[in-house]
Chains A and B, each alone.
Chain A
Amino acid sequence: MNLLIVVALAAITYVSRAAAVLFLPPPPPRLQVLLERIPAPVFAGLATLSLITPNGSLADTPTLGAALGGLVMTPLRSLPICLAGGLVGYAVASFFS
């Protein structure tokens, strides 16, 4: 039974990943404009989601410090620098918490 569930979930997951990449036709220009606007808001939403625990409270202080450290570095628009900022934020927040 569990094997069947795992295989079914694997199939659902792969089909969901492949559906748009493999089967759907290229989007029309108007939809393409909309799709181009989606990545930054999706990532901002995912960042927010990862700062809220499943019971609705905020993440722990070091995690919030890491996010703040990364956020401070966003004007530089460099992922490694944001990650370095996050590391510093995590260390500082851990020290004070």
Chain B
Amino acid sequence: MQPSGPKALLHTLSAAAPPAGAIFVFGTIYGATSKGLLGTPLTLVSSALIFSGALQFALLGLLSAGAAMPAILITGATLNLRHLVLGAVIRPRLSRARLRRALLSWFLIDESFGLGIAAGEDAERALLVSGSMFYVSWLAGTGLGILGAGLGGLQGVANAVFPVLFVGLAAMTSTRMHHAGRALASALLTAALVILAPGIAGLAPLLAAIVVALPGRQE
């Protein structure tokens, strides 16, 4: 059973703290790297407005390689495709109020989506609380990176947080035996896709999840 009330809030805060720490570390790395390429003001603006580590690091890579604007925008659109599915999955768990949903969608990143789904009926609060924590961590990390804070030594720990978080979220959302079977199949299919078609690695988890979700009876 999912906790409720203040206990649920505490549960969300404690679950969101490790990924928030990892996001902070990656924020410092982004800030330090981006400062030389985009300059201080635009580095801060990019973290404040885009709020997507994967896309922002891709942006730096593409700008460094001299990519043209259309290529950068296509990359951005491709990397963001997964949000459509994540949004569709979490939508029934959110309030009907449009303004509220508009605000909540700002915080829809992989990690906050996971904590929202895992929170069951408390999805809205989990998305808001964890998303806010991740946003502040990303901004603070970017700012500290610009100031020259060297947290590169923590990158190993930060790297390790994400697989563990996603393994835990897969376990929490596997409420039936067939969910666990599909999760395992998706992991194998993702690995195969990443190895065989590295160009679509960013979309591999979503493609694999859709493929393994298709078979089976309507419950």
What is A's interface to B at a CB cutoff of 8 Å?
A: 1-10, 12-14, 16-22, 24, 26-27, 30, 32-52, 54, 56, 59-60, 62-63, 66-67, 69-71, 73-80, 82-83, 85-87, 89-90
Q: In residues 95-111 of chain B, which contact A (Cβ within 8 Å)? A: 98, 101-102, 104-106, 108, 110
Report the minimal beta-carbon distance from A22 to chain B, rounded to whole angstroms: 5
A56 to B42, CA, bound (A): 32
Q: Which of B80, B190, B210 contacts A49 (CB 8 A)?
A: B190
Residues on the A chain within 8 Å of B212, using CB:
37, 41
Q: Does B208 contact A (CB under 8 A)?
A: yes
28 CB contacts below 8 A, A to B, read A6-B42, A6-B50, A9-B46, A9-B55, A12-B77, A16-B84, A18-B101, A21-B102, A24-B87, A33-B218, A35-B85, A37-B212, A39-B114, A41-B205, A43-B170, A43-B183, A45-B186, A45-B206, A52-B201, A56-B198, A59-B159, A63-B159, A70-B163, A74-B170, A82-B164, A83-B15, A83-B161, A86-B168
Stretch at the interface among B24-32, B134-142, B146-154, B174-182: B174-182
Residues on the A chain within 8 Å of B81, using CB:
16
Residues on the A chain within 8 Å of B167, using CB:
43-44, 47, 67, 70-71, 74, 82, 86
Instruction: Name 14 extra pairs, CB < 8 A, besides A4-B69, A86-B167.
Output: A5-B72, A6-B50, A12-B80, A16-B81, A21-B90, A41-B185, A44-B183, A46-B205, A47-B166, A54-B198, A63-B160, A70-B163, A74-B168, A90-B157
Chain B, 192-217, contact with A by CB distance < 8 Å: what is the 0/1 string?
00110010011011101110111010
Residues on the B chain within 8 Å of A62, using CB:
156, 160
A45, B208: Cβ atoms under 8 Å? Answer: yes
Q: Which chain B residue has the least Cβ–Cβ distance from A10?
A: B49
Report the minimal beta-carbon distance from A82 to chain B, rounded to whole angstroms: 3
A50, B162: Cβ atoms under 8 Å? Answer: yes
Report the minimal beta-carbon distance from B16 to chain A, rounded to whole angstroms: 10
Q: Which of B49, B183, B191 contacts A52 (CB 8 A)?
A: B191
Summarize B's interface: helix, strand, loop or mixed. helix
A6 to B84, CA, bound (A): 21
Q: Which of A33, A82, A89 has the most CB of B within 10 A?
A: A82
